[in-house]
Amino acid sequence: MALFLTIGWTIIFIAVVSYKRMKANHQNQAAENAFWDREHAANNTRKQDISNLDYVDFSGVSLPFALFEDDLLKECEKQILLLKEKRILNLTGISNTDLKLKYGPANLPLLTQYDQNFTLLARTLNTWGHRLMELSHPKEAACVLSFAVSIGSDIRTTWNLLAELYTGYGEIEKLQQLKTSAASLNSLTREPILSMLEDCLKKQAL
């Protein structure tokens, strides 16, 4: 009797596993079909006008150029000045398929370049801000890092240092503004940044 029960349960187990595997295969196949359908549609989208997108705008922005003698600062400043002459677009979290669907595949090379310009800008601003802080220029560091945040940089160390500066000055309102800005990030770093800011606000409330 025990043998028959064992065989019976084994058959049931195999049947359940087979069913779940078959269901998973069907779901994977459906997802793959949906992906290729979207990709096909994206590749057949007509070219759209991209001249009026939300490009990074340096007008009215005051950054601390040529204030201090330091080789790394000069390198950062030079890179920023070069980038100011280029189109820069924050496309963080947007897939190539989505870009093609919205703007057409013909625009993808340009959009990719504009996004790469943004990545370089965000990294350069992060380096610049941290170097200013290392050289004991917190006001100028905050200026650079706040600009990085305003354009949607998702570099955690940019947000961390700026939050530290605001915390040190007891500027709770600016911490709240940072939290509001972080909530709109379209990046995997969004939640860690929000958590960090929440911790800073809690400490200020103690």
As given in the structure block, the two tokens for residue 153 are: 């940089």
Average pLDDT over residues 177-188: 95
Range of the domain at 164: 45-205
pLDDT at 3 > cutoff 60: no
Shortest CA distance to 145 belongs to which of 59, 76, 42, 192?
Answer: 76
Residue 27 lies in a domain: no
Q: What angle, rounded to 10 degrees, do the helices at 156-169 and 190-205 form? A: 10
- Counted domains in the chain: 1
Which helix (H) or strand (E) segment is 28 a member of? helix 2-43
Burial class (CB in 10 A: 0-12, 13-18, 19+), 147: buried
Domain holding 163: CATH number?
1.25.40
Could you read off the pLDDT of 135-159 as tens digits, one per residue?
A: 999 999 999 999 999 999 999 999 9
pLDDT at 204: 80
Q: What is the mean pLDDT of residues 46-67?
A: 94
pLDDT digits (tens, 9 = 90+) for 82-93: 999 999 999 999
Grouping H, G, I as helix, E, B as strand and the rest as coil, residue 51 is coil
Helix (H, G, I), strand (E, B) or coil at 111: helix
| Tens digit of each residue's pLDDT (9 = 90 or more) over 37-50 | 677 677 778 899 99
Domain contains 197: yes
